[in-house]
Structure 1
């Protein structure tokens, strides 16, 4: 059992004992895997790609056709032996391709290679979708925490403003102190409005990706098996990244396309068999005493040879076009490789940097918390001003927001790193809400079919619509992380007027 599978599975089990309505990251991944239109559309596109193999193979299989007709001669010569009044006929033709210059084999190989490319591309789509789910999930958690922190900050500044006004009334503070408190409260309220708008946006994006509105989101499980060096990450990504594998398969398919294009200059040989039946319906030699045959049959059997001599330059143009497309596919592999290397390296760097930011931010939160308590205590004895308290409160808020953001960035970067390494697909996550989608099942079902009749029927929608979900609000439904939920108002008694320690 893969480590990431175990962690997500345990997280799902643990959520059963958690708060009612709590959602886990595994729940969100499973919903997106089952109902997101990006992945369901990619599966339909892959099924269409699967059909290119029997289509290509059909060009090398025998073909059987029949035709029939009825003719009424409304104006004919007087010789009824040469011109019957009416005629009915039917014919059957069988063509068995024997040699097509390699076109059939090349087309089949190209189609099979593109099927393999599509399957790898489907894996890449899964990894990209799961990365988006993780980002949306963590964005909601981060923005809920930021809204809660800003709400807490507004409440604290409202307390500070009331206290400042009270102390101004008794002459312990100046009008400047009150104005500073009012300005900070106004700024805090605007920051809260921006944070609430961002939370609504994150929740709506979550609905877009997952298909349901977010409930109370549990903390995600830790990410396992992250590489210890950039070199390990890049080497694994170059070997297992599905997007890179898909690009390489597409390049390989273009090599067969060149073979197909060259076959247009080669001879084609087919075995041909035919049968014909005619009936003049008694109209041949009508009005004479001579008995003539009114019907008959005929059969033919032979070989057909087609040898192209001149086609106006079309085969050469097709070859050059196929070679140019091969060159394009080759460059696409290099482009994809560059992107994979950049994703692996940048994700590794962001992850390591975010981990260090988390450690620094945790220390900063603790230090700013202690600093705020000290500033408020010093203010109570007259050695600190209201502005010092406001600055200390803002620094604590900033460090808390930085910590929340760094935790989000580290997790998303770590998952993006796993995706670049080809380790963040459905088979790695253990999404056991039902059987995983198997692209090989449909391919094996259709690859050898030769019947001209049959279909899969009118497709029914698979992805769920979100038009009926309610508009999201900025109401925070999950508790704030205890490490961040530190009240900045220490409830120290405020001294006013002549009782202020600074006046003694």
Structure 2
């Protein structure tokens, strides 16, 4: 009996230890890796697609601003039916009149308002492109966290399932020994309580796994399938100062705020143009047709004519007094410029703090991995020692249960530390502005180029040019099955959180 129990314990202990082993020698079929997940998010995530559409809307601000400085052509026509002529016309007036006029105008000088408005719009296009890169890197950071959460929670489910199986064997062995009088009912009750708690923990872990799988679908657009260990992180900094230097140059949010500060400067200049003269040239043509309704008479020379007139000239609008409007508009624009300058500094502060925080989290997680691995090794050795001492009567069942729980806790901490190390490392390179699809060299098809749309629309001047009817491009997830926290028996035995390492040393380092 004791030999059978010890053999079962060793088998279950070995199965639990495999959860913390290396990666499988042969990856399973239909597996996904992190690059696949990021590429799928890049191609079909609705948040990123919406940001691209918003940027296309920002692009249109340039032709809108430029239109204020281009020639304009307008026409008007009126048709008048004379229902009752005035008695003073002596019955010789027309019965109907068609009047057609056209006016062409070209603004020559607007005090710099148009020029500065165009400059502001172009600058905001560049700011929007940086915003789009920020959305892209933010999405990749969220996708990476979701990916690692699935791996982490699958490992935790596997650990808890193995723990339940170990405790089931312990309870069976405890009952057998109680039957022969070797243990007391208290020992049985302690084993039952610990098994019940383990089953509760397993159910909680399964719920967390189901939630993380749903989150993965939300970002990636498809269910997770045999997720593989992620690749090493590229270009990790050697110090927090190096990371901050890169972030100050490349962080997309900070670059966007810098461009907005430049745009607000142009806004202030444009607002000041309201007090300056505006000059334009114009040409007007007018034609009147009485549609043959003039009374034919020798005394009515206009009866058979169609009067035509044309004028050309220069129009100057010189504001003399506007109740302080242009000054108020310029002061308002300057106040907004001041606010934007402060916002730029606030964003710079935030970027510095975030980069330093992620760097410390990344380095701390590496140290936690080393200490947690040592704790796992010591807890496993301690469990074997407690079991051996129990077999000769020097340890109680409660000692075994506590040792098993300590091993499970150490294993769980190790799994989470590996997840946290990778996620912190990815967040760090994202904050440094080095986590776009191009930076990561994703195999996601042609990369979206926001500048291509800007080049397409910036010179459009025709009033009837429009794009095709908008359609949704993002991947829908209504057909994906509801996720559960279940893992297969093979997966439970094969899960190896050590495969979550970003390098053979357990770091995502340089």
Q: TM-score, normalised by structure 1?
A: 0.90
Query: 2:409 aligns to what?
Result: 398
- Alpha-carbon distance in structure 1 between the residues aligned to 2:314 and 2:414: 80
Quick check: 2:67–2:461 contact (8 Å CA) kept in 1? yes
> Could you tell me which residue of structure 1 aligns to residue 81 of structure 2?
72
Contact 1:39–1:126, Cα closer than 8 Å, also in 2? yes
Deviates more, 1:168-177 or 1:299-308: 168-177
The CA deviation at 1:180 is 1.2
In the other structure, the counterpart of 2:455 is 444
Deviations 1:369-393 (A, max 9, x none): 1111111011001111111101110
Report the equivalent of 1:186: 196
CA distance in 1, matches of 2:159, 2:234: 30
Distance in 2 separating the partners of 1:144 and 1:331: 45
Distance 1:291 1:156, change over 3 A: same
Contact 2:275 2:319 in 1 (8 A): yes
Report the equivalent of 1:481: 496
CA deviation string 1:8-64 (max 9, x = no partner): xxxxxx99x832110010100000000000110000001111111011001000001
Match of 1:24 in 2: 33
Write the distance in 1 (CA, Å) between the matches of 2:333 and 2:206. Answer: 54
Q: For residue 301 of structure 1, give the secondary structure of its aligned residue in structure 2.
A: strand
Cα distance in 1 for partners of 2:387, 2:263 equals 72
Deviations 1:332-355 (A, max 9, x none): 111211221111011000000000
Q: Following the alignment from structure 1 to structure 2, what is the Cα–Cα distance between the partners of residues 482 and 213? A: 20
1:59 and 2:74 correspond: no
CA-to-aligned-CA distance 1:306-363 (integer Å, 9 cap, x gap): 1112223322232222122212211211121122111101100000000001011111
User: Which residue in the other structure is 1:155 paired with?
Assistant: 165
Q: Verify: 1:100 aligned to 2:97, yes or no.
A: no
Q: How does 1:34-433 map to 2 (within 5 A)?
A: 34-78=43-87, 79=89, 83-284=93-294, 286=295, 288-293=297-302, 294-433=305-444
Displacement of 1:291? 4.1
Which residue of the partner structure matches residue 494 of structure 1? none
Distance 1:481 1:368 in 2: 18
Aligned mates of 1:407, 1:483 — CA distance in 2: 8
Quote the Cα distance in structure 2 between the aligned partners of 1:82 and 1:358: 105
Q: Which runs of 5+ in 1 are unaligned?
A: 1-13, 485-504
How many Å separate the matches in 1 of 2:442 and 2:232?
17
Q: Secondary structure at the match of 1:283?
A: coil
CA deviations on 1:47-94 (whole Å, 9 max, x unpaired) are: 111111011001000001111111012122131588432111111101
2:497 and 2:263 mapped to 1: Cα distance?
56
Return the alpha-carbon distance in structure 2 between the equivalents of residues 55 and 82 of structure 1.
50
1:35, 1:422 → 2: CA distance? 22
In structure 2, the CA distance between the partners of 1:447 and 1:247, relative to structure 1 (3 Å rule), is same
Q: In 2, distance between residues paired with 1:464 and 1:234?
A: 36
User: Is the 8 Å Cα contact of residues 80 and 283 (structure 1) preserved in structure 2?
Assistant: no
Once residues 459 and 406 of structure 2 are traced to their aligned partners in structure 1, the CA distance between those partners, rounded to angstroms, is 68
Q: Aligned pair in 2 of structure 1 residues 310, 83: CA closer, same or farther (>3 Å)? A: farther
Shift of 1:482: 7.5
- Conserved in 1, the CA contact under 8 Å of 2:92 and 2:300? no
Taking the aligned partners of 1:309 and 1:172, their CA distance within structure 2 comes to 108
Q: Distance in 2 between matches of 1:291 and 1:350?
A: 97
The whole-number CA distance in structure 2 between the counterparts of 1:474 and 1:262 is 63
Superposed displacement of residue 186, structure 1: 1.4
Go from structure 1 to structure 2 and tell me whether the alpha carbon gap of 1:442 and 1:81 turns closer, same or farther (over 3 Å shift). Answer: farther
Is this contact kept in 1: 2:152–2:497, CA < 8 A?
A: no
CA distance, structure 2, for counterparts of residue 393 and residue 97 of structure 1: 84
Give TM-score scaled by structure 2 length. 0.89
Deviation string for 1:175-226 (max 9, x for gaps)?
Answer: 2211211111111111111111110110000000000010000000111221
**Contact 1:230–1:344 (Cα < 8 Å) also in 2:** yes
Counterpart CA distance in 1 for 2:288 and 2:208 is 80
Task: Report the CA distance between 1:260 and its aligned residue.
Answer: 1.4
Question: How far, CA to CA, are the matches of 1:102 and 1:43 in structure 2?
Answer: 31
1:10 paired residue number: none
| Residue from 469, 472, 478 that aligns with 1:458 | 469
Aligned structure 1 segments of 4 or more residues deviating by more than 3 angstroms: 80-83
Bigger Cα displacement from structure 2, 157-166 vs 313-322: 313-322
